[in-house]
A and B are shown apart, each in its own frame.
Chain A
Amino acid sequence: MPREALESIQLRRLQTTLQRVYASVPFYRETFKAAGITPADIKTLKDLKYVPFTTKQDLRDNYPFNMFAVPMDNVVRIHASSGTTGQPTVVGYTARDVGTWSTLMARALSAGGAGRGDIIHNAYGYGLFTGGLGVHYGAERLGASVIPVSGGNTKRQVVIMKDFGATVITSTPSYALHLAEIAEDMGVSFASLKFKFGIFGAEPWSEKMREELERKLNLTAVDIYGLSEVMGPGVAIECHEAKKGLHVFEDHFIAEIVDPKTLEPLPYGETGELVFTSLTKEAFPVIRYRTRDITSLNPEPCVCGRTHVRMNRVTGRSDDMLIIRGVNVFPSQIESVLMEIKEVEPHYQLVVDREDNLDVLTVKVEVGERGFSDEVKGLQQLERRITKTIKELLGVSANVKLVEPKAIERSQGKAIRVVDNRQI
């Protein structure tokens, strides 16, 4: 679709959405009034910058249903975030929203390489988390066969992968690596399985992680993006043709990049915080929702022919970003460093403490057989080498601590990459 036509659809849908939330969600009416605007003031897409942001805290303050823009009678589905960082955020869908979501998810799966005739091994968790059911409905809409295997029970999953001959796997990247490890322990080689594509998301991952996944799982790995507050999985996806940035489904969402400090919109190409406005959602519209995800947008034409703007890999979160003695550190940067070091496994955790008023970063890294030496000095050399590489590339000193395999929790959902023990 040409950009002009797309933008005219976006503007019309934006205006309708703004009017609807102003009329039906007290929170939005109040923030718009406080900002001195009404929906009628938004005459072009550029005017969106005058509209106030919505934060996760706003959603929490309106827990559970006060952000809904339709009566509960019209809500057919409720999901919620895990609440690991505080009170969960609750989102709702009308029947039409579930339909839109399914269509977008089918579109996403198709861009990621799946189609009718494929068998999709869906290892995203089913339940309040949007991953499992989001992929599930999209797969059915696409006309593929879906195995609702969910997360966990990993040995059984390996048997199912083998016996059912799935061709596409959907899961978090860390769970996919866990599956690969367990399969290896069970003597099952991914090379003998039928997988062609893996659609991995729900946590940020790096280009090196892609190489690792593609090598260990013998498939083409693409990145999918979504969050429950905006819809769930299927807000954006990489096309398997280019694997270079995730196309944002702009006919349903407006993506902006803002400076996380000044909150001013940034032009294409600049890195900042991703902000979404939903254009078609009925039950739970979000207006300028601050995702906290750090990325940039790329409007360059894509080899696949899609005209939707691409978001680059999420490199971290504006709230997950660690400032270690004044240096900004994203977990993905540490991940990239570790991926360069062949002796360690791609499983790590960053622990930050404050000792004598100084930040101390500890990087826990799992020792695999490749890196293992029967000599303590060999392992100490490995620790020193990792420390040196982190220092050279990121400019921070880290204590590297080798840990046993699987010492870092990852079997369910999202791996915990950062533990910040600083009391500031």
Chain B
Amino acid sequence: MQVEQISVFLENKSGRLSEVTSILSEAKVNIRALALADTSDFGVLRLIVDDTEKARQTLKNNGFTVGKTNVVAVEVADRPGGLHDILTMLHNADLNVEYMYAFVRSSGDNAIMIFRFEKDQEAVQLLQSKGVNVIDGERLYQL
């Protein structure tokens, strides 16, 4: 139940982000979700795309430092407390969330959140045992 995410190292210079989007657009890669974490000097752009390998290779060829990590896509009930319930489950099981961000699309009535866990196998098992829907990469890229 893994989702592949690529991460790109960006210096904090104007135009760098649009360079990434332009390269991906030319390669006809669709961005499904994105989050940017930054400091005063640099940022790390995290992306979920419909063709991870193509995106990675194209960005690499254009001189970017690109990494690949596995993240987990979780369906979250679209109501007050939906996210809180899931975070409580994780907290009770002592499973740490490294970072999280929202997926652009929803699945039915539910929102989708992307989680990066320290122990992702255990987190997936826990969520599934509690009846939370974890979305597989192949389905997510095409959603």
Q: Is the CB of A372 within 8 A of B98?
A: no
- Please report the C-alpha to C-alpha distance between residue A373 and residue B116 in the assembled complex, in whole angstroms: 13
Chain B residues with a Cβ closer than 8 Å to the other chain, count: 24
- Please report the C-alpha to C-alpha distance between residue A368 and residue B66 in the assembled complex, in whole angstroms: 9
Q: Is the CB of B44 within 8 A of A405?
A: no
- Please report the C-alpha to C-alpha distance between residue A405 and residue B63 in the assembled complex, in whole angstroms: 6
With A380-B39, A403-B11 in contact, is A374–B46 under 8 Å at CB?
yes
Q: Is the CB of A375 within 8 A of B65?
A: no
| Residue from the list A185, A372, A376 in contact with B37, Cβ < 8 A | A376
| Cβ of A369 under 8 Å from chain B | yes
With A404-B65, A405-B64 in contact, is A374–B39 under 8 Å at CB?
no
| Residue from the list A375, A401, A404 in contact with B63, Cβ < 8 A | A404
Q: Is the CB of B65 within 8 A of A374?
A: no
Chain B residues with CB under 8 Å of A376's CB are 37-39, 43-44
B 6-41 binary contact with A (CB < 8 Å = 1; else 0): 010111000000000000000000000000011101
| Cβ of B69 under 8 Å from chain A | yes
Chain A residues with CB under 8 Å of B9's CB are 367, 372, 379, 402, 404
A 353-376 binary contact with B (CB < 8 Å = 1; else 0): 000000000000001110011111
| Cβ of A406 under 8 Å from chain B | yes
- Please report the C-alpha to C-alpha distance between residue A406 and residue B44 in the assembled complex, in whole angstroms: 17
Q: Is the CB of B64 within 8 A of A404?
A: yes
Q: Is the CB of B67 within 8 A of A373?
A: yes
| Residue from the list A368, A373, A402 in contact with B41, Cβ < 8 A | A402
Q: How large is the interface on A (under 10, 10 to 19, 20 to 34, 35 or more residues)?
A: 10 to 19
Q: Is the CB of A369 within 8 A of B66?
A: yes
Q: Is the CB of B99 within 8 A of A375?
A: yes
Q: Is the CB of B98 within 8 A of A402?
A: no
| Cβ of A407 under 8 Å from chain B | yes
A378 to chain B, nearest CB (A): 9
Q: Is the CB of A375 within 8 A of B44?
A: yes
A 391-405 binary contact with B (CB < 8 Å = 1; else 0): 000000000011111
- Please report the C-alpha to C-alpha distance between residue A405 and residue B53 in the assembled complex, in whole angstroms: 20
- Please report the C-alpha to C-alpha distance between residue A369 and residue B66 in the assembled complex, in whole angstroms: 6
Chain A residues with CB under 8 Å of B43's CB are 376
Closest 10 A-B residue pairs measured CB to CB? A374-B7, A372-B67, A374-B69, A376-B37, A372-B65, A367-B9, A404-B11, A367-B65, A406-B63, A374-B67
| A contact set with B: CB distance below 8 Å | 185, 367-369, 372-376, 379-380, 401-407
Jot down 16 A-B pairs with beta carbons below 8 A, ordered by A.
A367-B65, A368-B65, A369-B65, A372-B7, A372-B9, A372-B67, A373-B44, A374-B46, A374-B67, A375-B37, A375-B98, A376-B39, A379-B42, A401-B41, A403-B11, A404-B65
